[in-house]
Amino acid sequence: MKLAKALTIAGSDSGGGAGIQADLKTFQELGVYGMSAITAITAQNTLGVQGVYPLTPAAVAQQIESVASDLAPDAAKTGMLFSSEIMKETAVQIKRYHIQKLVVDPVMIAKGGAVLLEEEAIRTLKEYLLPLALVVTPNIPEAEKITGLSISSFNERKEAAKILHEHGASYVVIKGGHADVQDDIVVDLLYDGYMFTELVGKRVDTAHTHGTGCTFAAVMTAELAKGAPVTEAAQTARHYIQAALEHPLGLGQGHGPTNHWAYGRRQGKVRI
């Protein structure tokens, strides 16, 4: 049986809840061999981001080249890319190595409020990276920044999904965790250019949500690497995050990290 391989191109989170660390943990939990290209080193914990130290575009490009030229990822995801220059280099390498299953998670703002993506890079994201994306997975604030829309209703979320699709992403998932709390459910909206699919989960009242966005995209990447269709990968991501929120680790004094092994434990695959 062929071992599926996935590459994450993202920032390092010293607190271990998001970024490269979250992605690799998620890949491992789902039985996928994980590889990485680090775009920036962050000093952060559950209370916020204390520092961001980007790598050079050449360093990022060389990491991707080293991995892709030898280990041939079956799917890849991008997280915090930080700058236009890094984003452009990433796009060059994605095209060079014909990585078709690309999940773009447009990480812009950390839970602690730190801006992790420059304004200029948002324009570059739309021009260079979204046309390469099989899937883009913004939350509502990120979708607002990319599209320029103010999203306060479900119909406005649908309009934003259409715009993101027009920018080139084959599939769009706008995550619903940031929606105004009106009931006890969360709806992630999937759009394939023709129809909308609602991925529904129970809203969980918890502060331990750091890394959920990265992890959602990482689940999709892992499942795509294994050959799952996009809709099925998105459903698995919804279930994975639901398990993480329902079984928080309770670490730290602020926004605690995602429980990356909760889904496997619920399935009887992980014992702690």
The catalytic site residues sit at: 175, 209, 211-214
Determine the distance from the C-alpha atom of residue 30 to the mean position of all C-alpha atoms in its chain, rounded to a whole number.
Answer: 15
- CA-to-CA distance for 120 and 79, rounded, in angstroms? 16
Nearest alpha carbon to residue 81 among 27, 142, 28, 29: 142
Which of 233, 164, 222, 167 has the alpha carbon at shortest distance from 199? Answer: 233
Scanning the chain, the segments in alpha helix (DSSP H) are 19-29, 57-71, 84-96, 119-124, 140-147, 154-166, 212-225, 230-246, 262-266
Residue 260 has a CB neighbour count (10 Å cut-off) of: 28
Q: How far apart are the C-alpha atoms of 180 and 194, rounded to whole Å? A: 26
C-alpha separations of 264 from 17, 89, 228, 242, 248 in Å:
17, 35, 18, 12, 14
With tokens 């010293």, the residue in question is 14
